[in-house]
Amino acid sequence: MLVIPNLCETLFHRIEAVLSVPIEDLTEDEQENNCETFGGAFLGRIQGERDVFVSLELNNVEAKYACLSLSFEKPPEWPQFWQRVCAELDDPELEEFPIRKWQDSDPELIWKELAFFLSRNVDLIVEGAFAIDRDKLPLDSLIASMIGLRTLAGEEQFLLSGAQFAVRGFPDDTISWYLKPGSHGRKVSGQLVRQCVEHFHFESISNAVHLIEARFNRVVRAKSNVQSNAAS
């Protein structure tokens, strides 16, 4: 079973995982056998200490593609696949179609849809989205140390209210943050993204989540030496 551990304790309010395998990497038999059966969108709710709303979109275009989304505060937007279907058919009766309802689901029924990717080399992108009150940030954390950095351009003054970092050694891993619009500077939102190519296995997604959670703790919650580095 593909399990994201500690769902009720995760630091993120949404986790998304995108998996893809280029069509040219498949055998002719696989391309023919899967072209009709691989596709669609699925919704479900996993009940527990903290309900998890799950959406899964599968399609067959230039790659075998799957987008898994887990939300912990509220249901995510409808999968893009289903939005397109509703728009193309323009049928009011689709409002009653079961896929539009967040029904209780057995996690195994959702995870088994990803079995196609097991033991294959896949492009994997895992993103964790967070929101945290600014007054809960340590004053010497990396993000807190950068908020309000200012510069002048002519008569205009610019204040830093967001940034994106690339993680050294992993050029496709990024950390982004910004002061949430409308929060009057009191809430910080952002996302951490892990992008890699790897031999997909049961723990691939959970391992990536552990990694970006650790980076979240270092960048958002831990003391930083950004000031001493800037002065040296």
Whether the CB-CB separation of 204 and 187 falls below 8 Å is answered with no
- Check whether 78 has a pLDDT greater than 80: no
Mean pLDDT of the chain: 76
- Name which of 20-34, 63-77, 114-128, 218-232 the model is least confident about: 218-232
pLDDT, greater one: 198 or 52: 198
pLDDT of residue 175: 92
71 contacts: CB under 8 Å, gap ≥ 6:
13, 14, 52, 53
- Name which of 19-23, 105-109, 173-177 the model is least confident about: 105-109
Report which of 46, 192, 47 is spatially closest to residue 56, judged by C-alpha positions.
46
- Check whether 39 has a pLDDT greater than 70: no
- Name which of 97-106, 158-167, 209-218 the model is least confident about: 97-106
Residue range 9-29: average pLDDT?
81
pLDDT, greater one: 169 or 166: 166
SS in 3 state form for the chain?
CCCCCCCCCCCCCEEEEEEEEEHHHCCHHHHHHHCCCCCEEEEEEECCCCCEEEEEEEEECCEEEEEEEEECCCCCCCCHHHHHHHHHHCCHHHHHCHHHCCCECCHHHHHHHHHHHCCCEEEEEEEEEEEEEHHHCCCCEHHHHHCCCEEEECCEEEECCEEEEEECCEEEEEEEEEECCCCCCCEEEEEEEEEEEEECCCCHHHHHHHHHHHHHHHHHHCECCHHHHHHC
pTM reported for the whole predicted model: 0.79
Q: Band of the pLDDT at 29, cuts 50, 70, 90?
A: low
98 contacts: CB under 8 Å, gap ≥ 6:
none
